Amino acid sequence: MVWHVNNFWTCISLVAFALVATPSVQADDATVKSVAESTDTSAVEAVASTDAEASSTSEAQAELQPEPEPGTLDAIFNQELPNAIGQSKINFQWRPRYEYADTEVTEPSHAPTMRTVFGLTTADLYSFQGMIEALNVTAIGDSDNYRSGANEGSAGDKTPIADPPTTELNQVWLSYTHANWAASVKGGRQTINLDNQRFVGAVDWRQNPQTYDAVRLENWKLEDATFSYTYIDWVNRVFGNVEGLSAGAQDFKSSSHLIHATYDGSEYANAAGYVYLLDLRNDAGAAQSSATYGFSVKGKAPISEEITLNYRGELAWQTDYADSPLSYSAPYLHLTLDTKVKPVTFGVGYELLGSDNNAGFRTPLATLHKFNGWADRFLGTPNTGLQDMYVWGQVKLPGDIPLKVVFHKFDSATGGSSNYGNEFDILLSRKLGKHWSALLKYAYYDGKNGFSVGGGTVGNTDIQRFWAQMELKL
């Protein structure tokens, strides 16, 4: 093997040397002139005549060569497929980030990481389209400076930050769209974001997003309505396919069904309905399996010529499903209102994740960081459920820098309404031209009473998290 590798690089070196050395073979102007003068004129004319004849013959052959018939294998593989690949869209993302996390009972974690994504999406070819995308997450410095989920033995005393170093095939899919039927089917590894990602999302906040090995069908034949069905075979979670993961952090084997419909034909209200039948399993068991039935309504209502009230309401019901060892039936409710009174945008919200038989309403495929505070205390719903009352405000600072502030009040949903604590979040963000952006983000959770999630107990510890991030997207 070494001999082959060395000869490979020897060949590359020789080719490179030839390419570099070729210009030096050209003589200076005086030498060229001398050679030209000593060349027999008839020989030069003969060579010129031969070149002209060869060029004429080549052009004649090209004119005689017929164009391949559209739709034939010759046309597909020699014209249409190369054209589709040549017109492909390339996407690139580079996202360096520093994250700090600390609690009262764990050591601080420092996670400077870098996410790099490179992908290619082909142009349409006979209504087919394909994509392939690779992702790399690199820990800058010692990866044991933070507890990533893959280094429990060497960094188990530190605060969790779920960004383990990994290199993965992030997406690879093929789709077909039938224009007359207003329908499409996509199969392969893909991202899926439904509604506000409360139940199914790509978790793009983490450096390694969540993807799904799935088949997805969509239809928009009815005016203002869209229907979709998705079968999920495997869930590639944010921890990646790396060694050393705990059982609960591993990918999900799945036989899950997502049924989803939306209607957006009203000026003041858009609706969505869904059935999510999640059959999820890993070495931790099947307790995350559930059946959820729900609907949501969102819209806007003008209060005056200058003020519009935006609203959203969602109601769902969940039971155990498939091989879940649990037996429960719990409600879900989420209400939000927001408006803008220049220069301030502000809103309020209330979210309830219910509980039954000591089991909380669960959302294992959600983009969890978006909900219940950025400190990530409630990535798993407490056994006694969760109530989250929150208010937020946003204003644009000088320099076109949005500042957002959020306050949460957390309580249990059952068991005497135990006080879980409060949280304060703050975000500064800035677009830097067309492709660059930057943000600073801070979260502080002030823990009160402890609670249980599954078979584990979470103490009433405080949590602090801080992020500094740059991003380039092409």
Write out pLDDT tens, residues 264-300: 998 889 999 999 999 999 999 999 999 999 999 999 9
pLDDT at res. 458: 79
pLDDT at res. 467: 98
Strand partners, 7: none
pLDDT at res. 63: 52
pLDDT at res. 58: 53
CA-nearest of 430, 406, 433 to 345 is 406
How many C-beta atoms surround the C-beta of residue 31 within 10 A? Answer: 10
Peptide bond into 165 cis (omega under 30): no
Q: How many CA atoms lie within 13 Å of 340's alpha carbon, on the beta-carbon side?
A: 9
| CA atoms of 385 and 362, how far apart (whole Å) | 9
pLDDT at res. 32: 36
| CA atoms of 235 and 187, how far apart (whole Å) | 14
| CA atoms of 115 and 94, how far apart (whole Å) | 6
How many C-beta atoms surround the C-beta of residue 116 within 10 A? Answer: 17
pLDDT at res. 42: 47
Structure tokens at 127: 């209504």
- Phi and psi for 164 in degrees, rounded to 5? -70, 145
Instruction: Report the SS3 class of residue 202.
Output: coil
Residue pair 463/102 in contact (Cβ under 8 Å)? The answer is: yes
Report DSSP letters for 322-360, one per residue.
Answer: TT-S---EEEEEEEEEEEEETTEEEEEEEEEE-EETTEE
Exposed (0-12), middle (13-18) or buried (19+): which is 425, by Cβ within 10 Å? buried
pLDDT at res. 115: 98
Q: Residue 258: CB partners within 8 Å, gap ≥ 6?
A: 192, 194, 200, 228, 229, 230, 231, 232, 274, 275, 276, 277
Q: Residue 300: CB partners within 8 Å, gap ≥ 6?
A: 268, 308, 309, 310, 311
Can you give 244-312 as a three-state secondary structure string?
CCCHHHCCEEEEEEEEEEEECCCCCCEEEEEEEEECEEECCECCCCEEEEEEEEEEEEECCCCCEEEEE
Residue pair 229/194 in contact (Cβ under 8 Å)? The answer is: no
Peptide bond into 343 cis (omega under 30): yes
Q: Identity (one letter) of the amino acid at 276? A: Y
Residue pair 112/139 in contact (Cβ under 8 Å)? The answer is: yes
pLDDT at res. 224: 94
For the chain, which residues score pLDDT lower than 70?
Answer: 1-67, 70-71
Residue pair 408/372 in contact (Cβ under 8 Å)? The answer is: yes
H or E stretch at 259 = strand 252-263
Altogether, the residues listed in the chain come to a count of 474
